[in-house]
Every structure is written in structure tokens, then in C-alpha cells.
Amino acid sequence: MSQVIHTGLWIDWTHGRVAGATITLSARDGAFLLAFVATFVTMVAARTWRMVSFVCHKALASGGKHDGLYYQRQLILRNTPTPVSAAWLFLQQAWHWRRVADRSLRRTLPWAVGGLLYVGLFALAAIFSSKISDAATEFRLLEPTGCGWYLPSDDNAPQEKATSDNLIALAYSRQCYWNEPGLACDILPVKSIGYTNYSVDCPFRSDVCKGAKSIRMETDRIDSHVHLGINAPKHDRIEYQRQTTCSPLVTQPGFADPVNGAEARDLGWDDGILIKYLYGPVGNNTYTFMFNTYATEMQTGYFAWSYVNMALIENHVSEWHPSEALSLEGRDVMLLLIAPNSVFHLKPNDDPVFGTRAPNGNGSAPNVYLPDRPVSPIACAGGHRMCNPNNGRCTPFRGAVEIFQKAWYSPLDLSPAQKAVGERLEFASTGTTFYDLVWTRAQSFLNAQELVSGMKQLPLPSDQWELEMNLLFSVAMAKLQHRINEYVTGPPVPVRRGLFVDRPWEVVHDAAKGRDYGLLCRSQRSRQSQGTINFSVLGLSVLLGLGALVIALSFLLEPLIGWLQRRTGYGAAKAKRWERDENLQVMRMLLELKEAGEWKGTTESFPVAESHETFEYD
């Protein structure tokens, strides 16, 4: 299902309840709001100019005699509604009075420059006000278009679902984990989940390890809010960490034995054609896997087999049971068996998994190098850890099933909301083991396979196996990210075989727990905007609040100051001059000088004639 962006009010808890309050609008509605904000700022600028001109007029007003420039300047300040008009009038005044008034330029140009600066400042304010959405969070909240856990409804659905999920995770990891940037990297809450890669001692018994060193891939602490996008206050978040340690295995006698004698004949083969790999029984078999060496002559490329044993608290429920050499207490153990089959190399290689032996001696292809083993095994140990960031407590690294069960009952002291997040994470992490990533792509999961032309393997580095494990780990992290998202949006690709949706809030008996599950449906963040625009409620409130205050003050300032001046007598003359210099009052005085009508309201903004008489004004 496609993502649908929630429009309306929500809180991005990254910034807290106040600063994180956000309004998400469609492109059309957002454009309307931006236009309103720009208009509002223009209105604030106009009313602020009114107050500035009022204060300046009051400051310059004085009794006694003055020249004409003074009175014109006062009239400009009193009656010009915009700073642009005022600046233009001051410039004209400077020109026309240049040879008449004393210090005309000093008395007019600063006002013109001040008006222009005022215009520039508020023009910038208007521009930046249109960027008010930039102060809001970059994230969007997803609508719950298909909330719940998606489970297969028949026996074929798991494979189809897993195949789809693995292909999506593979494509995403290549773009967003391995520096091939694409549009997909701007959708999930974070581009990638960071992890480190370093050498450690082999975790398995020393006689089964091929070489002393193994590689460990370990994530940083994964914050459920920051990295997985489960929008929640700090006290409702959890932290999760994963590590996987992998090591190539030997294929010495005791771990890889040819099938000879009666056993070979019972299977219909000559001696030495079949090889048993003995890393633990699978089902009713006493061996792990049986390889037919004729596969090296069948003109087929790489193939892989994968097995997993999930550690449980009380017992092991798995088709494959690791041998004693691979058994690890409390860890998930995965086994990969990689067969190059008919692939041959053009260059020698000492990689422990993709290594080659001496050139073929039959003379037909003197520059060809063959794989040094028909099957190369790799074993990996997986560990998971859960932490409560509120008290700093963490579980040890243990197997996935065990750790998620232990997290509920250990001293982590998780709240009900944290447990709901943890269970969502538990479901998302299923299907992200190396086994789950390989079994649907047994012939194509290797990066080395992409460097095969015909049956010719192009040159590989001596640490190719480490690259393969890192690629798998990044796919696992990408799949985890997508499965977290899927809880809210549903699968990105429909599954033809059918899935049913498990809605946990409908079946739990605990009302509070059910509420927490339901809230998770409206708690998934995304960086995909789909043209929507975010606005910070705090930013809008401050802008509109301060602007409204300025507008209100601009209308109250004149009558309030006038009333105080008349009441106290202080500055009464200045108040009278402000009233006198208003355009309509100036016109009244001119008419009275011509004895044109009787007037009232001589101290108000709108003087009116006392009678209906008519008169000329030429």
C-alpha cells in the first residue's frame, strides 16, 4: 500500500509538546496559508510604520517659529501611510528645498534613507515569513491506511511475502546503505541505520573456524523514535541493538566427508561423488547437507543453502540443530553453505570463502583458476539487546526470541507504552535473519554472482566474504526499517496468495494495552512529503500573536497617548500639533480662513461642518 500523509495538527515528539506541535497542510492549503502570512506581515509593517511616524512626529513637534521645510516634514510624517511614499516625498523635499532652507539635505535625506531601510527590513521579514514552514519538522505523520500485523493466510503466502520484502530491502540497501543515492532514501525516518564492522575472535569452537579472526557487525543503539520513526515522547521510547558475528568454517574430515561404500551405492552414486557436510543434523538426517560434485560440471552458477537455529529460553525448536562445535548458549546461529558449482576464476584469490587453487592442469584453459572447495560454509551468531533509555538498563546480547521475552520480565521496568513499541519491534525483526534473507534468493544473493560472465568469475578482493556479510547485514537493517513502516501502511506490494491482518488492539483483554497498540497506528513518521507543507504551531503562534499585538497597539497608541497628555497636561501641545497636522484638519483650517462654513470636531480625525450650507473652495 502507498503511504498517505496525515494532514492536520500533530506533535513531532523530537522537539517536545510545544516546539514539536505541527500543522501539516496540502500543497494548496499550505500556499493559501503562506499567502496569508505574507499579507499579514505586510499589514504589520504598515501599522508599525504608523507608530514610527507617530513617535517621530511627537519627538520633532515644538512650539515657536519654523521654516516651511519643517512644517512639510511634519505633514509628511503625519499623513503618509507607507514608508515608500514617505521616502519619495522626503527625496523630493530635499531637492526642492536645497537652495531655500538651511541644512535641507541633513534635515530630509536621513528620513528618506530611514524609510527605504524600513522597507528593506520588512521586505526581508515578508520573505522569511514565507519560509515559516522551514522552522517546522521535516517529518510527516502517516495515516494508518492498513494498520496491523500482516500474516500469511495460506502455505504459499510466506514465500511470496518474504520474496517481495527481501527484494525491496535489497534495492533499498544498495541505494541508501552503499552510496547509490536515490529517491527512496528520502522516505524512511533515517536513510540508514549505522553500524560498525570490526574483527573479533571466532565465537565457535576453534577447530571448526577457518582462521582465528571473524567479523562482527554491530549497530549503534537504535532509538525507536529517531531511527525507526515510532513517534513518541522520550519516556515511551525504547532502544534496540543488534550484532552479528560471522566466521568461515573448515571443511576438514569430520566436518565434510565423502560418501563411499554401501551408503553411496544405496543412493545410486559411485564413491566420492557425494559429500556430506556435518555441522549438525537437519530433521531426521544425521548430516546437515549433501553435495553432489557433478554440479561443478553442470554449467550453473553460485547456489547457497541456509539454516537457522533460534535460541529459546527453555528449549530449541528448529529443523536444524547445530553441532557441538557451533552451539552457542543464548545466541541465534545461522549457517550458510555457498557452492560455486561451475564458476571458475580468471585471477587467483586467497579469500577464505571464494579462494582458488592452482590453475587447471589439463592444458585446455591454462589461465583458469578453480574454487579451492566445492562448498564453503559460513556460520554466524546473532545477538540482540533491548534497553530502557529512561533508567539506562539493558538486557545482555541474546537470541531474538529470548531477548524479546526477557525484556518484558527483566528489570528493564518498561511501561505499557514501551512494551507495545517493543512488541512491534519484535514482530518487525522476525524475518530479518541471514537465513530469511537468503532462502528466497539462493541463487542471487551473492554480490560475487553479479561479477560472473558466463561461468567466468571476474577478479574479487581477498575480503569478498566480508563484503558479502556486510551486504546481508545492511539488507537486514533495511528490511527492519520497512517492516516497522508496514505496521501502519500495510505491505508496499500486494501479496496475491493473501494475507490476513492481526489487529492486536482488538484482541487484548487489557484496555490500556489495547489503547497503546491503537495509538501506534497513528505514530509513524516519514520523510516523504508528497507535496504537503509543515508549519510550526509555535512559530505561527508567535508570528500571529506578536503581529496582532503590534496591530492592536498601533490603533490604541494614538488615542491612549493623547488621553494621557490631555489628562496630565504633559505634552498637550505636541498632541494638539499631531491633531492639527492631519490632512482633514489642514483642509478645515484652510476653509475656515476663507470663512467657508462653520466646523466642529477641531480636535478629532474627522472634522465636519455644523450645517448643510454649501461653499466654494478654489
Q: What's residue 600's pLDDT?
A: 79
Bridge partners (DSSP) listed for residue 387: 239, 394
Pair 300, 341: CB distance under 8 Å: yes
User: What is the CB neighbour count within 10 angstroms for residue 395?
Assistant: 19
Nearest to 196 by CA among 6, 497, 474, 399: 474
- Could you list the beta-strand ranges (E) of 342-422: 344-345, 356-359, 369-371, 376-388, 393-394
pLDDT at 603: 67
At position 365, the amino acid (one-letter code) is A
Q: Which amino acid is at 67?
A: D
pLDDT at 508: 64
Secondary structure class of 244 (helix, strand, coil): strand
Looking up cell 508567535, which residue turns up? 542
Report whether 484 contacts 425 (CB < 8 A). yes
Q: Which spans in 235-279 are helix H?
A: 261-266
The full length of the chain comes to 618
Detail the DSSP E strand segments found in 249-301: 256-258, 274-277, 289-292
Which residues are CB-contacts of 460 (< 8 A; sequence separation ≥ 6)?
345, 347, 349, 351, 354, 448, 451
The CA–CA distances, whole Å, from 556 to 17, 96, 220, 414 equal 35, 36, 58, 56
List CB contacts of 112: < 8 A, sequence separation 6 or more: 86, 87, 88, 90, 91, 94
Residues 6+ apart with CB under 8 A from 230: 224, 237, 421, 424, 484, 520, 523, 524, 525
pLDDT of residue 404: 78
* Interval 35-88: pLDDT, tens: 898 889 889 988 888 888 888 878 888 877 888 787 788 888 888 888 888 888
Structure confidence at residue 246 (pLDDT): 97
- Which parts of the chain sit beneath pLDDT 70? 1, 130-131, 155-156, 212, 313-317, 358-366, 406-409, 495-498, 500, 504-510, 572, 581, 602-604, 617-618
Q: Can you tell me the distance from the alpha carbon of 392 to that of 403, in angstroms, rounded to the nearest whole number?
A: 17
235 membership: H or E segment, kind and range: none
**Identity of the amino acid at 116:** L
Residue 402: per-residue pLDDT: 83
Q: Where are the domains of the chain?
A: 16-133+541-573, 192-479, 582-618
Nearest Cα neighbor of 204 from 142, 252, 250, 172 is 250
CA distance 444 to 225: 34
Q: Which residues 6+ apart lie within 8 Å of 550 measured at CB?
A: 44, 47, 48, 51
3-class DSSP state of 197: strand
How many angstroms separate the CA atoms of 153 and 397, rounded? 33
Could you tell me the pTM of the whole model?
Answer: 0.84
Provide the Cα torsion 468, 474, 478, 484; round to 10°. 120
pLDDT for the residue numbered 479: 95
Residue in the structure block whose three cell numbers are 497498540: 517
From residue 484, give the alpha-carbon distance in Å to each of 361, 427, 479, 490.
54, 8, 9, 10
Distance CA 111, CA 99 (A): 19
